[in-house]
Amino acid sequence: MSPINITLQDIAEKVGGRVIGEGTTPVVRPSSPEKAVPGEICTLWNTRECGKIGHGAFLMASPDIFALLPGIQGVEVDDPRAAFPLLLSLFQQPKQAGGMVHPSAVVSADADISPTAWIGPMCVVEENAVIEEGVYLQAQVYVGYNCRVGEGTVIEPGTVLLRSVRTGRNCLIHSGAVLGCDGFGILPAEQGKAPVKIPQLGGVLLGDEVEVGACTTIDRGTLEDTILGSFTKIDDHVHIAHNAVIGENCILVAMTGIAGSAVLEDNVVMAARSGARDHISIGRGATVAANGGATKNVPPGAVVSGFPARDHQEDFRIQASMRRLPDLLSRVKKLETLLEDLRSPEGSIKRTEKTDEGTR
């Protein structure tokens, strides 16, 4: 149930829509169309779902859909898909308000903690760390030496920020993420010698409103920072290696791996289990499809797939050809058998007989 009283008018103001019905009508919570009960609101963005709405539920939809469902109350919007996140945000559990340092937290005397920040149970904040206004460290969060957590940022339980990690404003870092661990800089073993670890002296820098998924790891750079641009969204179980530069508005989906010093320009999408090798560039607005592995530069706006990644349509044609291989192999075997028959003595006699018959 919603922690506050929300009406149809409240929703309309939040999403920039128009009330259909009585604006003071209370709304319990959002729901899916097929499971909505009286008092709940569901969102539709195509007419195919009109028949799924539960009796007595409210609706957020376009004028065209309301025209098909006379008598239903709700909120009319021009773009229901764009309004949907705004609707859900009204019903989010609010973070703790006001400043507090929990008695079980360990905070260095040299740390700079805003009086409006919330430092939850068993958090650790090391020296020279800065925790800005409205930051919310939920519980068991480690903030290392020389870190800065930007205004309004929320960090969920069990997250680790090692030294020299700086976030922008209003970031969200989910449980179990580790930012600022050593980049994997290794000199390979030479004859009779062990591999040599290269010290990693850089940090990690996040822009504003960056989201980092659960159990994601972001390594610090060797000399400079590993960088994530503002508004970039990282899913769970993603790895970003040292010195990588991720632009603004990028989306990296689960199990993606970005190798060291790779550059993703703005608005790049890396689909699930995709990857980019070290020192390559993926151009602005490009997409690497699921399971795709970019081994060379990807042009701006391109859509690539497969391994090594190539133009998506070309990869489809290759996959289609691969599916035809069993049939092609069978046809080749038949042709080989026919050729062997023609090359045999019996085949020569048959060809001679046919030629003789043709001359009679």
The CA distances from residue 58 to 30, 69, 196, 358, in Å, are 9, 11, 64, 86
* DSSP assignment of 69-90: STT--EEE-S-HHHHHHHHHHH
Strand order in the sheet with 148-149: 112-113, 130-131, 148-149, 165-166, 204-206, 226-228, 245-246, 263-264, 281-282
What residues are labeled active site? 242
3-state class (DSSP) for residue 153: coil
Cis bond before residue 33 (omega within 30° of 0): no
Q: Six-digit token pair at 137?
A: 């460290």
d(CA 250, CA 2): 32
CA 310 from chain centre, in angstroms, equals 21
Measured distance CA(199)–CA(17) in Å, rounded = 55
The values of phi and psi at residue 211, to 5°, are -115, 130
As a whole number of angstroms, the distance between CA 309 and CA 3 comes to: 48
Half-sphere exposure at residue 134, Cβ-oriented, CA atoms within 13 angstroms: 11
Helices (H), 208-344: 312-323, 325-343
Environment class of residue 272 by beta-carbon count within 10 Å: exposed (0-12), middle (13-18) or buried (19+)?
A: middle
